[in-house]
């Protein structure tokens, strides 16, 4: 099988998540979930995702769909890369096990489906601001906030490209 096919096989829709989750739970794997737009992958993203992966055995990353990014008002030109490109790039990272694209403004419904053991978000959030914190904490899981690498953001890269 070609390597790109292997990477694309890590991108699952909600319907195909069930069997994958059952497989990991049968093996008593600690499931970690995080999410983001991941438009123009940069060092801050890599640092964040690798630290999220260190929080358990399986890392599932929710990627905002193109329409979901628009709901977040990140700017008129966002997303810069389409959802297929962003999901494929995230799936190519060796420490990411599954990628699932979601259309909503937050991944709350996806978190409800996945029922992760650990929910990870950047330390620019408070636990009670993290979508799905109530779901994870109610089942005895944990919410971890990870410090972000200063000076790295897609918005900063976009400004630099535009020369502003």
Read off the pLDDT of residues 16-46 as tens digits, 9 standing for 90 and up.
Answer: 999 999 999 999 999 999 999 999 899 999 9
Residue 153 pLDDT > 80, yes or no?
no
3-state secondary structure 59-103: EEEEEECHHHHHHCCCCCCCCCCCHHHHHHHHHCCCCCCEEEEEC
Domain that holds residue 47: 3-162
Q: Are strands 98-102 and 31-36 parallel, antiparallel or unpaired?
A: unpaired
Count Cβ atoms below 10 Å from residue 82 Cβ, excluding itself.
Answer: 13
Alpha carbon distance 156, 158 (integer Å) = 5
Rg (the chain; Cα; Å): 15
Q: How many domains does the chain divide into?
A: 1
Determine the average pLDDT of the residues in 62-76: 89
- 1: helix, strand or coil: coil
pTM score above 0.85: yes
Confidence of residue 5 (pLDDT cuts 50, 70, 90): confident
Q: Where is 16: in which H helix or E strand?
A: helix 14-26
Q: What is the pLDDT of residues 83-112, one digit of tens each?
A: 999 999 999 999 999 999 999 999 999 999
Assigned token pair, 100: 């699932």
* Nearest C-alpha neighbor of 38 from the set 114, 2, 97, 92: 92
Q: What is the pLDDT of residues 109-151, one digit of tens each?
A: 999 999 999 999 999 999 999 999 999 999 999 999 999 888 7
Alpha carbon distance 80, 73 (integer Å) = 13
Q: What's the mean pLDDT when you consider all of the chain?
A: 93
Q: Check which CATH number belongs to the domain holding 125 and give it.
A: 3.40.50.620
Residue 164 pLDDT > 70, yes or no?
no
From the number of C-beta atoms within 10 Å of its C-beta (0-12, 13-18, 19+), residue 1 rates as exposed
């Amino acid at each position: 099988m070609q390597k790109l096919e292997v990477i694309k096989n890590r991108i699952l829709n909600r319907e195909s998540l069930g069997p994958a989750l059952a497989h990991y739970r049968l093996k008593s794997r600690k499931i970690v979930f995080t999410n983001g737009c991941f438009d123009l992958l940069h060092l801050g993203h890599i640092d964040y995702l690798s630290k999220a992966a260190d929080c358990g055995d399986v890392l599932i990353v929710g990627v905002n769909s193109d329409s979901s990014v628009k709901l977040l008002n990140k700017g008129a030109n966002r997303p810069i890369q389409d959802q297929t490109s962003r999901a494929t790039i995230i799936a190519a990272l060796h420490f990411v096990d599954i990628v699932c694209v979601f259309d909503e403004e937050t991944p709350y419904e996806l978190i409800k489906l996945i029922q992760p053991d650990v929910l990870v978000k950047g330390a620019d959030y408070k636990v009670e601001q993290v979508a799905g914190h109530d779901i994870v904490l109610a089942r005895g899981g944990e919410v971890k906030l990870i410090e972000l690498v200063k000076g790295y953001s897609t918005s900063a890269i976009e400004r630099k490209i535009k020369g502003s």
